[in-house]
Each structure stands twice: as C-alpha cells, then as structure tokens.
C-alpha cells in the first residue's frame, strides 16, 4: 500500500494509471514514468520483493526524481537570472547608447515593461540593433573628422603623424560633440588655407626675386622644403611653422641680397657716368650700358625685370669700370685741355684777359706730377667753369651795352666820313641807301652820351658789388669811358675851331670879292686829317680802337675770326680758392 502511494507521488501519469487510466498511448508508442513503474512493480511481484525493499527502492527513486527536479529548477532559475541580467544589460546598454549618442528618447523603445522576460528582450532587441547601427555610423563620422583633424595638425606641426593612431571617445558620440569637431576641423582648414596662401605668397616672392637676381628658383625652394618644388599640387606643400619660418628667412635673405646688388649696381652706374662725363664718352658707347644706368635712381621695389641684378651683369659693369679707369689716365690730358679750352672760351666771350699758355703748362705739370687725382682736377675745373659762367653772367648786361656803345661809335665814325664826302648828295648808285643810313646814324649817335653815362653808372655799381675793377680785354672799362669822354670833348672843340675857321675864310672871301670883284678858289681846311673819337682811340686797347682812316670804322673786337690767341686760365689754376674775389681779374 505504501509503495502505491509513493508511485502515485512520483508521477502524475502513475497516478492516472492507478486510477485506472491508461497512461500508455499505443498509437504514439511512448514510454512514460507510469509505464515504467508498472513494469517495475510486475518485476517486483515476480521476484517477490518485500514491501520494505520496495518502499526503500521507491524512496530512493523518489529522491532521485527530486534531485532531477531540483536541478531543473536550479537551471531554470539560472536561466531566468541570465534572462533578467540580459534584460537589465539590454536596458543599461540602451540607456548607455542613448546617452552616448546624445538622444534623450528613441522611437523604437517599448513603452510598456509588462510581459515575460523574453518578450521584454524581444521588444528591446530592435531598438538596440538600430542604436548599434546608428552608433557605428556615428563612429565612422567621428573617425573621419578626427582623421582630418589629425592630418591637418600633423601638417601644421610638421610631424606628419600617421592616421589611425587616435581613439574615439565612445562615451560621447553626440551630434553636439560631432559639431564641435566639425567646427574645430573648419578652423584648422581655415588655418591651413591661410598658411598655404602664406606659403604660396612666400614662394611667389622667392620666384620673383630669384628671377631678378638670376638665381635657380627650384634649388632655392627645395632647400627650404622638397614639397615646395612641386608646381602642380599645391595641397601637398608643407605648411608647418618650420617651413614658414625658413621661407620668411629665405625671403629676407633674398631681399637683402637684392638690396646689396642694386646698391652695388647703382654705385657702378654712378662710377660709369662719372667716367663717361670725365672722358666725354659718346652716347652710342654709353647706350651699351643703359640697362645698368637706368637703375641709378630706382628703389628696390621698382626693380622687377628678370635678370636685372644678375651677377654676370654686375660683373660686366665692373669690367667696364676697370677698363674706363685704366683709360682715364691716358686721356686725362686731353680731357683737362678740353675743359681748359671751354674755360678760355667763356673768358674770351666775357672779354676777360688771362694767361692761357701758363695755365695750360700748369695743368699739364699737375697731371704729369701725379700729385693730383684726375677726377679731382676735372671736378675743380668744372667748378671753375661754373664760377666763370656766373662771372660772365654778371658782366653780360654791361658787355651788351659796351657792344651797343662800340656799334654807335662805329656808326659815328662812318657818319664823320660820310659828312666829309662832297659827293654824298650825288645821284650815284646807292646814294639813297647811304642817306638813310646817315639818318639812322645821327639818331644813334645822339644817344651815345646817355649810353656812356649808363655804362659808367652800371660799371661803378658792379665794381662796388664785386670789389675789383671791371676790365674789358685787360683794360679798365671806366678808363676807356673816361678816355672816350675826353676824346669826344676834344673832337667837339676841334669841330668848333673848324667852324670858326670856315666862317673866317668865308668872310675873307667875301671881302676879297668885294674889293677885287673876283671869287678866289675855296680855301682848303687847315687840317684835313680826320680825328675820330671812339673807344681806345689813344691806343690804350688795340681791340677797342676805331678805324682812323675812315674805312668803315669797325672795332677789332667785333671780328669773330680775329687772330689774337685765346686767353688762358690763371697760372695756378687748381690752387686758386673758389672764394677768391679776384679770380677773373687780369
């Protein structure tokens, strides 16, 4: 009886069998716990197993069944715990993903938390899967942005760091963080663009200066950084701080070299002009170095022509300067004598009498002695020429009036000859022309006293201003004017005397005619010798004397082709001080 109770407790199927229900399904052919117990009972009956043994074995069997159920329950509990943990992990992962992606809510998350654990897991799984995909896409975007950031940083720092060495912080994959990285990337790209423009600006400056200096541009920029030699890919050029610093240093160095070369070329151009002017070089020969002299007043920024400051061009100018410098010594005498001739011509036009022979001998002696620098000698002669021109200019007004005075004296001489001509009123050919000239001559002669007075006043003023005598071809002008005044007075006295004599002869003739009734032949004047009043008529200055024989009365100094030797400079030409007020005095 006890064994039956045990069997019933072991299995619900066994209980059904004990109740008379057939637990074996012949159609299915399955073996159940109840059928096995029945077989075991039959065996025990056949064996004659005692109830004690049966109860013992059934208790053992019951214990084994309990152990099996316990294990199953434990396994089920563990499985439930695993599912609960998985559900908790899923919920935690869901919240972590939402926090990482910066999402406060998500459309795929189930609002209800009821139902079995597996149902809840099944409900969360799609949302997790979608969030994982979103996270992977977000990670790719972060990786792309960070890769570009790292690349640009490497270009700026010049370290060229390899991409992939960075890690993405998965705790913050929000759109805000991604936007921050994008903003940072844009700033770096802007900085990169500015640096690239700066690099290209430096490279262009180096290219232009190298062209002007005739330097290899590619070798210069390659020395700074090899990437700068690439003329096609501007993005590959180095933009690091070191590259920019070296480019700036190179630009400064090239600008300094350009400045030094230009200064050297300008010095050479100035030396060339000095030598050319010294040796009176022809324009054709000077034009060969126009490319050098055209930059004599140019600034550094104005010289941009390729090859304008190349070394070979500077060397050519140096060679030309050396050649002209060597040639200068041999041509110095010719140059100095030419300058002396120019000075003598100025003195001659200004009617300043100087010792030309002594001056020339002095110049040649200075050159042969070698005690004076040729350029200094020519510079001093140029200064003397300038001073002579100034002196001639100060004398010009007086000299012009002297010329008018001398012309008037010539006309006065001609008029005297004309008045002595008894046939002046004849109808001969050209008589009417002489008559017109005589009329003009009388008007001009009437102005001589006023002209002489003006000359005297101006000459005295000039002598007071300059502190020395105004000489005309070595003769003091005031003495010439005083002599002219005396001669003119003597001539007037002579005319008055001749008028009185003529009047006396006429009266005598009248008396004789009344007494004897006949008219004697006209008496000749007591003196038929012509005495003309004019500048230098007493012989003080042969250049200013008038024609005493009545042959036109022209002054010698008005003859442009006179045979008198040209005046020369003072004896000690170079040693004369520029402040000497008596430089041009005879």
**Alpha carbon distances (Å) from 31 to 37, 60, 105, 468, 529:** 11, 21, 55, 165, 194
Name 475's bridge partners: 472
What gap in Å lies between CA 163 and CA 318, rounded to an integer? 58
Q: What is the pLDDT along the chain (586 residues), one digit of tens a residue?
A: 444 544 455 544 444 344 343 444 544 457 788 888 899 899 999 998 888 988 999 899 899 999 999 999 999 999 999 988 888 888 888 888 888 888 766 555 555 566 788 888 888 888 888 888 988 998 899 899 999 998 888 888 877 655 446 677 788 888 888 899 999 999 999 999 999 899 999 999 999 999 999 999 988 988 888 888 766 566 678 888 888 999 999 999 999 999 999 999 999 999 888 888 877 788 888 888 888 888 888 888 888 889 888 999 999 999 988 888 888 767 777 778 888 888 889 988 888 888 888 888 888 888 777 777 777 787 888 889 999 899 889 888 889 989 989 888 888 888 888 887 777 777 667 777 888 888 888 888 888 888 888 889 989 999 898 888 898 988 898 898 888 888 888 888 888 888 888 888 888 888 777 777 655 554 444 444 444 445 544 333 333 433 333 333 333 333 333 333 333 333 333 333 333 333 333 3
List the one residue out of 562, 563, 572, 584 whose CA is nearest residue 360. Answer: 572
Q: How far apart are CA 2 and CA 41, in angstroms?
A: 13
Q: Give me the residue label for tokens 């490279």.
A: 203
Query: Using CA atoms, how far apart are residues 410 and 113, in angstroms rounded to an integer?
Result: 145
Tally the C-alpha atoms within 13 A of residue 302's C-alpha that lie toward its C-beta. Answer: 7
Is residue 307 within 8 Å of 313, Cβ to Cβ? Answer: yes
Report the candidate in 396, 342, 324, 330 with the shortest Cα–Cα distance to residue 573. Answer: 342
Give the C-alpha distances (Å, rounded to integers) separating 8 from 25, 37, 42, 64, 457.
19, 10, 16, 15, 174
Between helix 51-101 and helix 117-157 the angle, nearest 10°, is 40
Using alpha carbons, select from 192, 212, 189, 188 the residue that is nearest to residue 200: 192
The gap between the terminal CA atoms of the chain, to the nearest Å, is 181
Alpha-carbon distance of 314 to 261, in angstroms, equals 8
Q: How far apart are CA 237 and CA 158, in angstroms?
A: 11
Q: Which long-range CB contacts under 8 A does 483-487 form with residues at least 24 apart?
A: 483/535, 483/536, 483/537, 483/538, 483/540, 484/409, 484/452, 484/533, 484/534, 484/535, 484/537, 485/452, 487/533, 487/534, 487/537, 487/538
Spatial CB neighbours of 10, under 8 Å, sequence gap ≥ 6:
33, 37, 58, 61, 62, 65
Output phi, psi for 472, to 5 deg. Answer: -120, 105
The pair phi, psi for residue 133, each rounded to 5°, is -65, -45
Residues in a beta bridge with 472: 475
Q: How many residues does the chain have?
A: 586
Half-sphere exposure of 135 (CA within 13 A, CB side): 22
* Per-residue confidence (pLDDT) for residue 106, from 0 to 100: 58
356-359 LR contacts (CB < 8 Å, sep 24+): 356/565, 356/566, 356/567, 356/568, 356/569, 357/568, 358/568, 358/570, 358/571, 359/568, 359/569, 359/570, 359/571, 359/573
Residue 25, C-beta contacts closer than 8 angstroms, at least 6 positions apart: none
Amino acid 2: pLDDT: 47
d(CA 95, CA 87): 12
375: number of Cβ within 10 Å = 14
In DSSP terms, 471 is beta-bridged to 476
- Please give the pLDDT value at position 112: 54
**Residue 382 CB-density burial (10 A; 0-12 exposed, 13-18 middle, 19+ buried):** middle
The CA-based angle 567-577-332, given to 5 degrees, is 60
Residue 324 CB neighbour total at 10 angstroms: 19
The whole-number pLDDT of residue 360 equals 84
The β-bridge partners of 476 are: 471
- CB under 8 Å to 139, separation ≥6 — which residues? 168, 170, 173
Element housing 290 (H / E): helix 290-293
d(CA 396, CA 403): 10
Parallel/antiparallel/unpaired status of strands 471-472 and 475-476: antiparallel
Q: How far apart (Å, rounded) are the C-alpha atoms in residues 481 and 474?
A: 14
CB-neighbour burial class of residue 534 (10 A; exposed 0-12, middle 13-18, buried 19+): buried
Whose structure tokens read 């005692």? Answer: 50
Query: How far apart are the C-alpha atoms of 466 and 392, rounded to whole Å?
Result: 13
Angle between helices 374-420 and 241-279 (to 10 degrees): 40
Give the tokens for residue 142: 């972060």
Task: Kindly state the tokens that stand for 548.
Answer: 């005493």
Residues 6+ apart with CB under 8 A from 344: 354, 356, 359, 566, 567, 568, 569
């Amino acid at each position: 009886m006890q064994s039956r109770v045990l069997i019933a407790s072991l299995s619900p199927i066994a209980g059904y069998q004990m109740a008379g229900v057939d637990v074996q399904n012949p159609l299915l052919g399955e073996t159940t716990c109840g059928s096995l117990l029945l077989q075991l009972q039959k065996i025990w009956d056949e064996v004659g197993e005692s109830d004690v043994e049966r109860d013992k074995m059934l208790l053992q069997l019951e214990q084994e069944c309990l152990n099996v159920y316990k294990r199953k329950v434990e396994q089920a509990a563990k499985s439930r715990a695993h599912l609960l943990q998985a559900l908790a992990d899923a919920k935690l992962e869901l919240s972590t993903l939402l926090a990482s992606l910066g999402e406060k809510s998500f459309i795929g998350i189930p609002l209800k938390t009821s139902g079995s654990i597996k149902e809840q897991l099944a409900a969360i799984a799609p949302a997790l899967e979608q969030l994982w995909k979103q996270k992977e896409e977000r990670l790719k975007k972060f990786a792309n942005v960070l890769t570009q950031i790292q690349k640009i940083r490497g270009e700026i720092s010049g370290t060229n760091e390899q991409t992939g060495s960075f890690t993405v912080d998965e705790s913050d994959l929000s759109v805000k963080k991604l936007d921050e990285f994008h903003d940072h990337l844009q700033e770096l790209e802007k900085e990169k663009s500015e640096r690239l423009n700066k690099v290209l600006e430096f490279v262009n400056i180096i290219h232009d200066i190298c062209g002007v200096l005739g330097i290899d541009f590619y070798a210069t920029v390659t020395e700074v950084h090899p990437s700068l030699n690439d003329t096609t890919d501007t993005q590959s050029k180095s933009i690091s701080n070191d590259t920019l610093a070296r480019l700036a240093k190179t630009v400064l160095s090239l600008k300094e070299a350009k400045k030094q070369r230009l200064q050297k070329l300008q010095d050479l151009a100035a030396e060339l002009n000095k030598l050319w002017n010294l040796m009176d070089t022809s324009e054709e020969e000077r034009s060969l170095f126009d490319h050098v002299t055209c930059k004599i007043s140019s600034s550094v920024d104005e010289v941009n022509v390729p090859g304008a400051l190349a070394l070979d061009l500077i060397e050519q100018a140096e060679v030309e300067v050396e050649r002209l410098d060597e040639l200068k010594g041999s041509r110095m005498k010719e140059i100095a004598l030419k300058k002396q001739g120019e000075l003598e011509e100025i003195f001659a036009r200004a009617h300043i009498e100087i010792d030309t022979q002594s001056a020339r001998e002095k110049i040649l002696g200075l050159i042969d002695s070698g005690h004076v620098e040729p350029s200094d000698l020519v510079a001093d002669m140029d200064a003397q020429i300038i001073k002579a021109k100034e002196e001639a200019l100060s004398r010009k007004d007086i000299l012009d009036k002297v010329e008018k005075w001398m012309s008037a004296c010539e006309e006065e001489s001609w008029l005297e000859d004309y008045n002595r001509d008894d046939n002046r009123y004849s109808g001969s050919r050209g008589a009417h022309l002489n008559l017109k000239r005589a009329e003009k001559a009388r008007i001009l002669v009437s102005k001589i006293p006023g002209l002489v007075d003006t000359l005297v006043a101006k000459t005295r003023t000039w002598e007071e201003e300059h502190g020395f005598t105004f000489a005309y071809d070595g003769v003091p002008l005031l003495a010439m004017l005083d002599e002219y005044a005396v001669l003119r007075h003597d001539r007037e006295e002579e005319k008055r005397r001749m008028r009185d004599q003529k009047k006396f002869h006429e009266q005598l003739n009248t008396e004789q005619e009344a007494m004897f009734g006949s008219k004697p032949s006209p008496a000749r004047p007591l003196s038929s010798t012509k005495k003309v009043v004019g500048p230098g008529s007493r012989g003080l200055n042969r250049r200013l004397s008038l024609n005493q024989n009545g042959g036109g009365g022209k002054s010698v100094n008005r003859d442009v082709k006179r045979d008198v030797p040209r005046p020369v400079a003072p004896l000690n030409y170079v040693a004369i001080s520029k402040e000497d007020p008596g430089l041009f005095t005879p």
